[in-house]
Structure 1
Amino acid sequence: MQLQGSGNNQLENVANIFIFEDKLRTFICKLQLWLRKIEENNYSAFATLKALVEVKKYDATKANIQENNKTHLQMLNAEFYRYWPEYTQEAKVDQKLIRNPFNRDAGEVTEGIQEGHIEFQNDRNYKDTFKLNSLESFWCKKAISYTKLREIAFYDFLNNIFM
């Protein structure tokens, strides 16, 4: 539901590909956590299943229910990896640069933009502007002087939308 945006106040006016990637990665991590918990017979994440398991009269079907839930979570996890393999991995350097250009070391970025990146990082006006604006607004309107960095940002935004 967090990915749908409609009626989601948290995503209103700030939805971008990075927010959706974060939500996807979060859900995949939760799936893996839930799988580990079920394998350890810990049902704290599943109130109804926990209540059912705690009732003694269902001992005969308890193992079957547990196995069905485990199988379902494994299949759901596999489907997420199949549909979105790129979001199950760590973000690329360019994505990290776009998300927060002030949190990247110049040695991490492409050689052709290293000096511009250092200038950019040490410009307090850009740093303040970055904190006050949305990611999209910052790259579209504020980072005008640093064309190579903007090109990387736009390329990455478009690449994520149309790929």
Structure 2
Amino acid sequence: MVKDGNLSMFERLGVALAKSKNTGNLDVVQLLQATLAPLRIELHSYFPELSEVESKLIRNPFTVNVHLLPDNLQEEFLELVNDSAAKDSFETLTLTKFWTRMSETYPVVSDVVLNSFLIFPSIYRCEQGFSTLLNMKTKHRSRLNVEHGLRVCRSNTTPRIEKILCNKQAQPSH
């Protein structure tokens, strides 16, 4: 941890402090702590910590004690744990594919798990959209309606410029 002076996750900073003859390492650690504290609060607002039970439920539902789960999950969870086809699927599929497949049969339990999976991608896509919009809205390009431009920028499809240009006439004759 940074407060203990462990800077292993900041490799270059650790090397620079080791090379320097300055004894102000404590000041650097305090500055780093002050910088990281708001970041930690921000991350917790985006990604609330999962309880140990939720974490076990996501990683391996067959090891979770049913009494630790909320009452609304217990009945469906017992059916899942005793389903031999689900156990076979768990051993052969990735976690995301397993829980997606279980969402049809066990919707209540899988909804809890899939909501945990969806936190990062949905926040990432939203933040990415705002960054794209910020790059589009410049002093020279300040249109109010950015729907079409934003859609083009956010699309995964590469435009076929040559085909678009072939369908356009450069200058209509008079």
User: For this structure pair, what is the TM-score category when the shorter chain's length is used for normalisation?
Assistant: 0.5 to 0.7
Instruction: For 1:157 and 1:90, locate their aligned partners in 2 and report how far apart those are by CA, in whole Å.
Output: 13
| Larger Rg belongs to | 2
Query: Aligned-residue CA RMSD in angstroms?
Result: 3.4
In structure 1, the gaps of 5 or more residues are 1-32, 53-57
Residues 129 and 142 of structure 1 are in contact (CA less than 8 Å); yes or no, is this contact kept in structure 2? no
**How far is 1:70 from its partner?**
0.8
**How far is 1:105 from its partner?**
0.8
Match of 1:36 in 2: 4
Taking only the aligned residue pairs, the percentage that are identical comes to 24
1:112-151 pair list within 5 angstroms = 112-151=72-111
**How far is 1:100 from its partner?**
2.6
Q: How many aligned positions are there?
A: 118
Quick one: structure 1 residues 124 and 73, their matched pair in 2 at CA, closer, same or farther if it must change by over 3 Å?
A: farther
Instruction: For 2:26 and 2:14, locate their aligned partners in 1 and report how far apart those are by CA, in whole Å.
Output: 14
Q: Which has the higher contact order (CA 8 A, sep 6+)?
A: 1
4+ aligned runs moved over 4 Å, structure 1? 86-90
Structure 2 residue identity aligned to 1:99: R
Residues 67 and 74 of structure 2 are in contact (CA less than 8 Å); yes or no, is this contact kept in structure 1? yes
1:8-87 pair list within 5 angstroms = 33-37=1-5, 46-52=14-20, 58=21, 62-64=22-24, 66-86=25-45
**How far is 1:143 from its partner?**
4.8
Quick one: structure 1 residues 158 and 89, their matched pair in 2 at CA, closer, same or farther if it must change by over 3 Å?
A: closer
In structure 2, the gaps of 5 or more residues are 127-174
